[in-house]
Structure 1
Amino acid sequence: MDDIVKQALAKWPNVPDCYGWLGLDARGHWYLRDDQAQAAGPFPHSKGSLLQHEKLIEFIARNYEADGQGRWFFQNGPQRVYVELEATPWIWRIQSDFSVVSHTGRGAAVQDCLVDAQGYVYLTSALGVGLVHTLDVPLVAEAVEAGRWLPQEVLAEELPDRYGFVMSPQGQWGARETPGSPRMVDTKQS
C-alpha cells in the first residue's frame, strides 16, 4: 500500500466505504461506474467507462487487496472502493516461460490449473484464484502438453465459495447500504 494512502487512513479513519463504482472485467480492465452506469444494470452488463489513465491504473494496482470477508477493494486514501468482479479477483497473463503475472503486475507461482465446462482456464496461487486472459490460453495448452500443469475440472459458479471471494460487494449489501460516491483525498487539508 502506498505511504500516502497509509497516511490518509491514519488522518481520516472513518470515511465511509464506496460500493458499485469500480469494476474489474474478465480481461483485467478497470471500469468506473458512475450513477448512470449503475442505474443501467449490474456489472458487467453495464460496465461504465474504461479507465485508461496509466498513473491511476498503477495507483489502483498498488492498492488493490481483499478484506477478511473476501471483498476486493481499492484503497483510495482513507476510502475503500469495493470492486465488482466479472470473473475472479485476479486476471492472469502467461509469459513465454510459463511464469504468471496478474493484471496488477504481481508475479505468482501456479498451484493448480482449473478448467470449467465453457473451457475457461483458472490458475490458483498463494495470491488466490484468477482467470487466464483469453489471449494466453494457447500458452496454457503448451504448459499442459509440457507436463507443467495438470488441468482439473471445476464449476465456475463454485469458485467464489471455494476460494473465498465476493463477486459483487454492492449486491451483497443490497438495500441495506447506499453506494457512496468515490472521493479523491486532499492530503493537504489539515
Structure 2
Amino acid sequence: MDDQVVAAMSRWPDVPAVFGWLSLNRQGQWRIHPQGNGGSAGSHGEAVLAEGEAITNPQILQFINRNYCGDMQGRWYFQNGPQRVFVRLDSAPYILRTIGAGPCLQTHNDLPVRDIHGWWVDDEGRLYASTEHGPGLIAGRDTVGVFEALRTADGQALLDVLDPAPPKQPVMLAPLYAGSQARTAPMHFCPAAQIPQQMGFTRFPAPDADGAPP
C-alpha cells in the first residue's frame, strides 16, 4: 500500500466506506459505476449485473492495483486515501494469468504467484487457485494451458483423472512450477455457487449490520 495512503488513513481514520462504485470483471478489468449501482446482483441474479465503465487511465489503474486488498470478512476493496471503496467481484478477488514458461501465474494487478495452497474446479469448468495473495480465477484464455500442466502427486495428468468425471474426493496435485514455496495442494470440486464460501470471499460486499465503518 502506498505510503501516502497509509498516512491519509492515520490522519482521517473514520471516513465512511463506499459500496457499489467499483467492480472487477472476469477478465481482470476494473470498472467504475458512476450511478453507484454496481454493488449487488439485483433481484434476478447475475443476469442483471451492471456492467459499468472500463477504467483505462494507466495512472489510475496502477494506483488501484497497488492499494487493493481484503478485510477479515472476505470483502475486497481499493483503499482510496482514507476511504475504502469496496469492490463487487464478478468471479474472484484476483484474476490469474500465465506468464513465461512453466507456466508461472501472475495476478491481474501484477503480483507474482509463488505459493498455491489449493485448487478448485466448479461445475461450469472454471479453475480457481488459493494463493498467498488470496483466491483467484484462472483467466479464461489460460485455463486449458494450466489444466494441461497440472499433475497429481504421483505424476499422472490431471485431465486423465477428470476423465470421464471428476472424483468425489480432493486430489493432491504436484506443484505447478518449481519454486522456493512449491508444495503439493489439493484439488477440490464444487458447484460454482459455492466457490465464494469455500474459498472465503464475498462477491457482493455490504456495509456492516450496525452501520459502523469497516
* TM-score normalised per structure 1: 0.81
Correspondences of 1:48-127 after superposition (within 5 Å) = 48-95=52-99, 96-108=101-113, 109-127=115-133
SS of the residue 2:78 aligns to:
strand
Give the conservation status (yes or no) of the 8 Å contact 2:120–2:189: yes
Give the conservation status (yes or no) of the 8 Å contact 2:76–2:93: yes
Partner of 1:158: 194
Partner of 1:19: 19
SS of the residue 2:116 aligns to:
coil
* TM-score normalised per structure 2: 0.73
The letter for the 1-side match of 2:82 is P
Deviation at 1:14, TM superposition (A): 1.3
Structure 1 residues 55 and 122: alpha-carbon distance in aligned structure 2, compared to 1, 3 A threshold: same
Give the conservation status (yes or no) of the 8 Å contact 1:144–1:151: no
Give the conservation status (yes or no) of the 8 Å contact 2:38–2:49: no
SS of the residue 1:13 aligns to:
coil
Structure 1 residues 38 and 118: alpha-carbon distance in aligned structure 2, compared to 1, 3 A threshold: closer
Deviation at 1:8, TM superposition (A): 0.9
Q: Whose relative contact order is higher, 1 or 2, with alpha carbons under 8 Å and at least 6 apart?
A: 1
Q: Which has the larger radius of gyration?
A: 2
SS of the residue 1:35 aligns to:
coil
Gaps of 5+ in 2: 158-173, 177-185
Structure 1 residues 152 and 160: alpha-carbon distance in aligned structure 2, compared to 1, 3 A threshold: closer
Deviation at 1:24, TM superposition (A): 0.4
Distance of 1:173 and 1:134 partners within structure 2: 33
Deviation at 1:122, TM superposition (A): 0.8
Correspondences of 1:15-54 after superposition (within 5 Å) = 15-35=15-35, 37-38=37-38, 42=42, 45-54=49-58
The letter for the 1-side match of 2:144 is P
Q: Alignment length, in residue pairs?
A: 175
Gaps of 5+ in 1: 178-190
The letter for the 1-side match of 2:105 is V
Percentage of matched positions with identical amino acids: 32
1:137 paired with 2:135, answer no
Deviation at 1:163, TM superposition (A): 2.0
